[in-house]
Amino acid sequence: MKEIIQKLVAIPGPSGFEGRVRDAIQNEVKPYADSVQIDALGNLIVTKGKKSANGKRIMLAAHMDEIGVIATHIDKKGFVRFSNLGYLFARNCMAAHVSFLNGARGVVNGDHLEDASKLHSLDQFFIDVGATSPKDCPVKIGDVGVFERPVIDLGKRLISKALDDRIGCAILVKAIQQIKESPNELVFVFTTQEEVSNRGATPAAYRVDPDLGLAVDVTDVGDTPTGKMEVSLGKGPAIKVKDGGMIADPRVVRWMTDTAEKAGIPYQMEILLGGTTDARTIQLTRAGVPTGCLSIPTRYIHSPAEMIDLEDVENSLTLLLDLLRNPVEIK
């Protein structure tokens, strides 16, 4: 698991530019899949198994994109102004290293503020790529990039950029590789552009037309000194009850909690006050789909240094496999 996580987080893939991530995932899963397709928005759709008489078509979604930047202006000294791809916390940008998809690299800094106690807003930042003018600047308007940060292996825990949601992608990759039999038709969708309003999942869910939906994504935690949320690292996967964009189907929540309890898998209940996942899009497709979300507790989401606990990841995979290997009863 650690190997596939480290492989996926190292690949740059901001919203709308997920191709290299998709290629890496496709290489991992193709030998285990019944079919592999790529749709018009770049979603990777991997199907495994057929629906039996008592089975369902289950759509599993994890998004490939990460938060990023896009160049909007090059000033006369060669400094790059930028906007966001996905939600960026301005406080996390100062001194961050940026790697553009064209190979250019730079560091973020900001305009001089008369009041040093104030925080910069996003439009007060620039990226210094070592240029002296627009002519020698290696970045052009419209070029995109991501934060650059090496993976820090703490043994039980990992720190990296892009764990949102390469960790979900890694779990789905392992599920595809490990699951041998299921009464259900399993459709694993590695989605694009989740960080910009769940755009990839919208046509994917319409195409798949699932009987049941399940997103695998990260969620915030409340175990830091000023945290106020009842989710912690190391206490198991979180089963979503509600977030800022959806209320999980109570029948799906019960199915997930019952399965975890029967298997002795630790879990937590998640109520996220802001933000949402591809689960919202799946839930609202066509005439509506019973949908839930399996969440991996993550510290410092949407920063260049997110943190996960590997025991939570392994327990998330174990729970997901138990959910998929058996007939689904939602009631």
Q: Is 210 inside any structural domain?
A: yes
How confident is the model over 190-212, as a mean pLDDT?
96
Q: Is the pLDDT of residue 331 over 80?
A: no
Same domain, 236 and 211: yes
User: Which CA distances in Å does 219 have to 296, 311, 312?
Assistant: 6, 15, 12
Same domain, 215 and 127: no
How confident is the model over 239-257, as a mean pLDDT?
97
Domain count, the chain: 2
Same domain, 9 and 111: no
Q: Is 192 inside any structural domain?
A: yes
Rounded to the nearest integer, the mean pLDDT of the chain is 96
Residue 44 sits in a domain of what CATH number?
A: 3.40.630.10
Report residue 167 as tokens.
Answer: 């960790």
Same domain, 82 and 41: no
Q: Which residues of 299-314 are buried (b: 16+ CB within 10 A; e: fewer)?
A: bbbbbbebbbbbbbbe
Q: Give the model confidence (pLDDT) of 49-101 as tens digits.
A: 999 988 999 999 999 999 999 999 999 999 999 999 999 999 999 999 999 99
Query: Residue 248: CB partners within 8 Å, gap ≥ 6?
Result: 239, 240, 241, 242, 279, 291, 292, 293
Q: Which of 234, 210, 220 is nearest to 324 (CA)?
A: 210
How confident is the model over 172-196, as a mean pLDDT?
97
Q: Is 278 inside any structural domain?
A: yes
Sign for the pseudo-dihedral over CA of 279, 280, 286, 292: positive
Structural domain of residue 27, as residue ranges?
Answer: 2-66+161-325
Q: Is 11 inside any structural domain?
A: yes
Last residue in a domain, options 101, 118, 147: 147
How confident is the model over 88-117, as a mean pLDDT?
94
Taking every pair of C-alpha atoms in the chain, what is the biggest distance, in angstroms? 69
Query: Looking at residue 54, what is its pLDDT?
Result: 87
Q: What are phi and psi of 219, to 5 degrees?
A: -140, 160
Length of the chain as a residue count = 331
d(CA 285, CA 288): 5
Written as one letter, the residue type at 170 is A
Last residue in a domain, options 147, 178, 197: 147
User: Do residues 268 and 319 make contact, with C-beta atoms less than 8 angstroms apart?
Assistant: no
Query: Looking at residue 329, what is its pLDDT?
Result: 84
Sheet of 185-191, strand order: 35-38, 44-48, 185-191, 57-63, 212-219, 291-297, 238-242, 268-271
Q: Give the model confidence (pLDDT) of 7-41 as tens digits.
A: 999 999 999 999 999 999 999 999 999 999 999 99
Same domain, 251 and 125: no
Active site residue 230: no
Residue 103 sits in a domain of what CATH number?
A: 2.40.30.40
Q: Which of 228, 312, 240 is nearest to 269 (CA)?
A: 240
Same domain, 182 and 34: yes
Please report where in the chains the tokens 């800022």 appear, as a residue.
244
Catalytic residue among 28, 66, 185, 194: 194
Report residue 173 as tokens.
Answer: 């990759």
Same domain, 235 and 125: no
Same domain, 133 and 263: no
Same domain, 275 and 228: yes
Secondary structure class of 180 (helix, strand, coil): coil
Q: Is the pLDDT of residue 171 over 80?
A: yes
DSSP class of residue 130 equals S
